[in-house]
Amino acid sequence: MNFVYESESGESFDDPTENDLDQLLSDLDGVGNSFAYLTRSDGSYVQVGGGPSNFTVEWREIRHDGTFTHLKASLPGRESDERRLTIGGASVSVRADQLLDLSLVQRIFRSFRGGVEAPKSVIRQDITAMFQESS
Protein backbone atom coordinates (compact mmCIF):
# COMPACT_ATOMS: atom_id res chain seq x y z
CA MET A 1 0.00 0.00 0.00
CA ASN A 2 1.43 3.37 -1.05
CA PHE A 3 -1.45 5.77 -0.29
CA VAL A 4 -4.49 5.98 1.97
CA TYR A 5 -7.38 8.38 1.37
CA GLU A 6 -9.46 9.31 4.43
CA SER A 7 -12.28 11.79 4.92
CA GLU A 8 -14.36 13.35 7.67
CA SER A 9 -17.26 11.03 6.81
CA GLY A 10 -15.14 8.03 7.79
CA GLU A 11 -14.37 6.97 4.24
CA SER A 12 -11.04 5.14 4.01
CA PHE A 13 -9.64 3.90 0.71
CA ASP A 14 -6.28 2.19 0.12
CA ASP A 15 -4.34 3.08 -3.03
CA PRO A 16 -7.11 5.02 -4.80
CA THR A 17 -6.83 5.44 -8.56
CA GLU A 18 -7.10 8.88 -10.15
CA ASN A 19 -10.75 8.14 -10.95
CA ASP A 20 -11.36 7.05 -7.35
CA LEU A 21 -9.85 10.31 -6.08
CA ASP A 22 -12.01 12.39 -8.41
CA GLN A 23 -15.15 10.66 -7.14
CA LEU A 24 -14.17 10.71 -3.47
CA LEU A 25 -13.28 14.41 -3.58
CA SER A 26 -16.54 15.24 -5.35
CA ASP A 27 -18.34 13.87 -2.27
CA LEU A 28 -16.98 16.70 -0.09
CA ASP A 29 -20.05 18.75 0.83
CA GLY A 30 -18.78 21.30 3.37
CA VAL A 31 -21.18 19.96 6.00
CA GLY A 32 -20.70 16.38 7.26
CA ASN A 33 -17.86 15.65 4.87
CA SER A 34 -15.73 18.78 4.76
CA PHE A 35 -12.15 17.53 4.82
CA ALA A 36 -10.03 14.72 3.43
CA TYR A 37 -6.41 13.77 3.09
CA LEU A 38 -4.27 11.46 1.02
CA THR A 39 -1.30 10.09 2.96
CA ARG A 40 1.74 8.51 1.35
CA SER A 41 3.52 5.59 3.04
CA ASP A 42 6.33 7.93 4.24
CA GLY A 43 3.80 10.06 6.16
CA SER A 44 3.71 12.92 3.65
CA TYR A 45 0.21 14.07 2.78
CA VAL A 46 -2.05 16.45 0.92
CA GLN A 47 -5.21 17.65 2.64
CA VAL A 48 -8.28 19.56 1.57
CA GLY A 49 -10.97 21.36 3.53
CA GLY A 50 -14.25 22.98 2.53
CA GLY A 51 -16.82 22.17 -0.10
CA PRO A 52 -18.89 21.82 -2.08
CA SER A 53 -17.58 24.62 -4.35
CA ASN A 54 -14.71 26.32 -2.47
CA PHE A 55 -11.77 24.50 -0.93
CA THR A 56 -8.35 25.10 0.58
CA VAL A 57 -5.40 22.70 0.18
CA GLU A 58 -2.21 22.07 2.14
CA TRP A 59 0.68 19.63 1.79
CA ARG A 60 3.17 18.25 4.29
CA GLU A 61 6.33 16.80 2.81
CA ILE A 62 8.32 14.71 5.26
CA ARG A 63 12.05 14.24 4.74
CA HIS A 64 14.09 11.16 5.58
CA ASP A 65 15.46 12.87 8.73
CA GLY A 66 11.90 13.44 10.05
CA THR A 67 11.81 17.18 9.37
CA PHE A 68 9.06 18.52 7.16
CA THR A 69 7.91 21.34 4.95
CA HIS A 70 4.27 22.45 5.16
CA LEU A 71 2.81 24.23 2.14
CA LYS A 72 -0.48 25.99 1.36
CA ALA A 73 -1.98 26.36 -2.10
CA SER A 74 -2.83 29.76 -3.50
CA LEU A 75 -3.54 31.25 -6.89
CA PRO A 76 -1.73 34.24 -8.40
CA GLY A 77 -3.50 37.45 -9.30
CA ARG A 78 -6.34 37.13 -6.83
CA GLU A 79 -7.33 39.38 -3.96
CA SER A 80 -6.13 38.35 -0.53
CA ASP A 81 -9.13 39.47 1.53
CA GLU A 82 -10.41 37.03 4.14
CA ARG A 83 -13.14 34.48 3.42
CA ARG A 84 -14.76 31.78 5.55
CA LEU A 85 -14.97 28.03 4.95
CA THR A 86 -16.60 25.42 7.16
CA ILE A 87 -14.15 22.63 7.91
CA GLY A 88 -14.97 19.96 10.47
CA GLY A 89 -17.88 22.03 11.76
CA ALA A 90 -15.72 25.09 12.44
CA SER A 91 -15.70 28.36 10.52
CA VAL A 92 -12.15 28.79 9.24
CA SER A 93 -10.68 31.99 7.83
CA VAL A 94 -8.76 31.70 4.55
CA ARG A 95 -7.56 34.27 2.06
CA ALA A 96 -9.53 34.60 -1.17
CA ASP A 97 -6.42 33.62 -3.18
CA GLN A 98 -6.36 30.33 -1.24
CA LEU A 99 -9.83 29.29 -2.43
CA LEU A 100 -9.73 26.58 -5.07
CA ASP A 101 -12.45 24.89 -7.09
CA LEU A 102 -13.07 21.13 -7.12
CA SER A 103 -11.40 20.58 -10.48
CA LEU A 104 -8.12 22.09 -9.26
CA VAL A 105 -8.30 20.15 -5.97
CA GLN A 106 -8.71 16.93 -7.97
CA ARG A 107 -5.69 17.83 -10.13
CA ILE A 108 -3.60 18.53 -7.01
CA PHE A 109 -4.52 15.19 -5.42
CA ARG A 110 -3.79 13.34 -8.68
CA SER A 111 -0.41 15.11 -8.94
CA PHE A 112 0.49 14.15 -5.37
CA ARG A 113 -0.54 10.55 -6.01
CA GLY A 114 1.55 10.52 -9.20
CA GLY A 115 4.61 11.92 -7.45
CA VAL A 116 4.74 15.11 -9.51
CA GLU A 117 4.58 18.79 -8.61
CA ALA A 118 1.25 20.54 -8.26
CA PRO A 119 -0.21 22.14 -11.39
CA LYS A 120 1.83 25.17 -12.51
CA SER A 121 -1.14 27.49 -11.86
CA VAL A 122 -0.79 26.81 -8.12
CA ILE A 123 1.61 28.68 -5.84
CA ARG A 124 2.85 26.50 -2.98
CA GLN A 125 3.42 28.90 -0.07
CA ASP A 126 5.76 27.63 2.65
CA ILE A 127 3.95 27.95 5.99
CA THR A 128 6.20 25.53 7.91
CA ALA A 129 7.03 28.14 10.57
CA MET A 130 3.40 28.02 11.79
CA PHE A 131 3.95 24.41 12.89
CA GLN A 132 7.36 24.71 14.51
CA GLU A 133 7.83 25.39 18.20
CA SER A 134 9.53 28.61 19.11
CA SER A 135 12.58 28.32 21.31
pLDDT per residue as tens digits for the range 42-77? 999 999 999 999 999 999 999 999 899 999 999 998
Going by pLDDT thresholds of 50, 70 and 90, the confidence category of residue 80 is confident
Between these two residues, 80 and 109, which has the higher pLDDT value?
A: 109
Give me the DSSP letters along 91-118: EEEEEGGG-B-HHHHHHHHHHHHHT-PP
Q: How far lies 52's CA from each of 1, 6, 42, 49, in Å?
A: 29, 17, 29, 10
> Alpha-carbon distance 38 to 134, whole Å?
28
> Alpha-carbon distance 60 to 41, whole Å?
13
Q: Where are the domains of the chain?
A: 3-122
Check: pTM over 0.75? Answer yes or no: yes
Q: Which residues contact 115 (CB under 8 A, 6 or more apart)?
A: none
Best CA proximity match to 74, nearest among 94, 88, 51, 60:
94
pLDDT score for 135: 45
